[in-house]
């Protein structure tokens, strides 16, 4: 196997954003818009990347230079993923990587983490193939390990290498799929059995700067440690209650908990007028509850509504200036494509 295509889902945060960076739990679901990566072993010692969705074309460098020097922003996650795998398992030869996303990187669905997961999974699959072992120094440490945990560890390290901070929930969603109860750094990754999750998603039209927002919260935590700890602990209580609501398909209760979480996110200073307009429109049109999803300020909001109110909520989001994104939730994690 010298060439393989892998796909991984995007994600949406249900409850617990920002608090999850500080050793707290969150709830996240995988969505059906997927990232794909094709990885091919080559005979030279060159790494090349084609990622047109993030404006990276014709990018290449020697394998020994991975992670060094200037990197286009759109290449950082994939390049560092290859470097981390190579450093741990002594990859030699060359690689050609091509990525394609079914969703815009503007949405905040976790395209960077999904591409990272795809590349690490591809390398692991090819590593176990006899056809490419001539290009790889065989390392017995990889075989026999829990595959999903192995994927998580390498992909999460990559995210930290690029961003400096991060909880890893988006990496876990890409690998495990479904709905997850997740604690910072993968200390707990617990799949939650959910029949369905009829989320309505509205895009603000604004791309959130996740790293900047995470850093702003970090500054606030240092300035007001007691207040921030109190907020984070209150969010934990909501996450724990929401976990039970998910398990029992109590969407009305889950919606109310989403509302409470949104109040705390306002207190953290990560909401915005655009998000609030979409959230307010959703609730006035019959949603059980609504909140921002992810870093905040921009990206997407999510709402839960009874079946007979779904269309009204979608229309309200559109009329308030949002873009309704049709998605399925609770979907399969990373997989090999035919």
Ordered by start, the domain boundaries in the chain are 3-192+331-337, 199-325
Model confidence at 65: pLDDT above 90: yes
Q: Determine the Cα–Cα distance for residues 282 and 131; give it in Å rounded to an integer.
A: 54
Do the beta carbons of residue 275 and residue 301 sit within 8 Å? yes
Domains 3-192+331-337 and 199-325 share a fold: no
Q: Determine the Cα–Cα distance for residues 301 and 200; give it in Å rounded to an integer.
A: 8
Q: Determine the Cα–Cα distance for residues 142 and 127; give it in Å rounded to an integer.
A: 9
Q: What percent of the chain is predicted at pLDDT more than 70?
A: 95
Sign for the pseudo-dihedral over CA of 79, 80, 85, 86: positive
| Lookup result for tokens 């969603």 | 173
Q: Determine the Cα–Cα distance for residues 215 and 227; give it in Å rounded to an integer.
A: 17
Q: Determine the Cα–Cα distance for residues 264 and 18; give it in Å rounded to an integer.
A: 11
Q: Name the CATH architecture for the domain at 3-192+331-337.
A: 2-Layer Sandwich (3.30)
Q: Determine the Cα–Cα distance for residues 265 and 228; give it in Å rounded to an integer.
A: 11
- pLDDT for 208 equals 84
Reported as a single tens digit per residue, the pLDDT across 294-320 is 999 999 999 999 999 999 999 999 999
Strand arrangement of the beta sheet that strand 289-293 belongs to: 289-293, 300-304, 199-203, 323-325
Task: Compute φ and ψ for 272, nearest 5 degrees.
Answer: -155, 165
Beta strands in the chain (DSSP E): 3-15, 25-42, 46-51, 56-62, 94-101, 179-183, 188-192, 199-203, 289-293, 300-304, 323-325, 335-336
SS3 318: helix
- pLDDT for 90 equals 83
Q: Choose among 176, 200, 191: nearest CA to 287.
A: 200
pTM of the model: 0.93
Q: Which residues of 244-260 are buried (b: 16+ CB within 10 A; e: fewer)?
A: ebbeeebbebbbbbbbb
Reported as a single tens digit per residue, the pLDDT across 93-111 is 899 999 999 877 777 788 9
CATH topology of domain 199-325: Alpha-Beta Plaits (3.30.70)
- pLDDT for 63 equals 94
Q: Which residues does residue 99 pair with via DSSP β-bridges, in sequence order?
A: 37
Q: Which residues does residue 189 pair with via DSSP β-bridges, in sequence order?
A: 182
Do the beta carbons of residue 176 and residue 333 sit within 8 Å? yes
What band does 136 get if pLDDT is binned at 50, 70 and 90? very low
């Amino acid at each position: 196997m010298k060439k393989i295509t892998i796909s991984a889902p995007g994600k949406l945060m249900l409850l617990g954003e920002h608090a999850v960076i500080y050793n707290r739990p969150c709830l996240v679901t995988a969505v059906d818009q997927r990232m794909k990566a094709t990885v091919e072993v080559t005979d030279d010692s060159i790494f090349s990347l084609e990622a047109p969705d993030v404006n990276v074309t014709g990018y290449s460098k020697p394998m020994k230079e991975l992670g060094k020097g200037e990197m286009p922003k759109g290449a950082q996650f994939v390049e560092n993923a290859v470097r981390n795998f190579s450093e741990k398992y002594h990859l030699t030869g060359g690689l050609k990587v091509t990525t394609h996303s079914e969703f815009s990187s503007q949405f905040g669905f976790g395209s960077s983490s999904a591409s990272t997961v795809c590349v690490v999974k591809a390398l692991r699959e090819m590593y176990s193939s006899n056809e490419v072992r001539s290009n790889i120094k065989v390392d017995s440490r990889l075989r026999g390990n829990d595959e999903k945990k192995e994927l998580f560890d390498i992909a999460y390290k990559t995210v930290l290498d690029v961003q400096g901070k991060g909880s890893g929930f988006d990496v876990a969603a890409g690998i495990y799929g479904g709905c997850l109860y997740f604690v910072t750094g993968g200390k707990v990754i617990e799949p939650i059995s959910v029949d369905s999750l009829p989320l309505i998603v509205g895009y603000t039209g604004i791309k959130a700067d996740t790293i900047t927002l995470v850093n702003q919260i970090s500054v606030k935590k240092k300035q007001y440690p007691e207040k921030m700890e109190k907020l984070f602990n209150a969010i934990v209580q909501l996450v724990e209650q929401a976990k039970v609501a998910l398990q029992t398909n109590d969407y009305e209760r889950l919606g109310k908990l989403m509302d409470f979480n949104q109040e705390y996110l306002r207190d953290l200073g990560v909401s915005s007028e655009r998000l609030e307009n979409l959230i307010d429109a959703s609730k006035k049109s019959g949603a059980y509850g609504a909140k921002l999803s992810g870093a905040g300020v921009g990206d997407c909001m999510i709402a839960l509504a009874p079946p007979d109110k779904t269309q009204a909520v979608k229309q309200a989001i559109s009329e308030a200036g949002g873009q309704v994104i049709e998605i399925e939730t609770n979907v399969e994690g990373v997989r090999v494509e035919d």
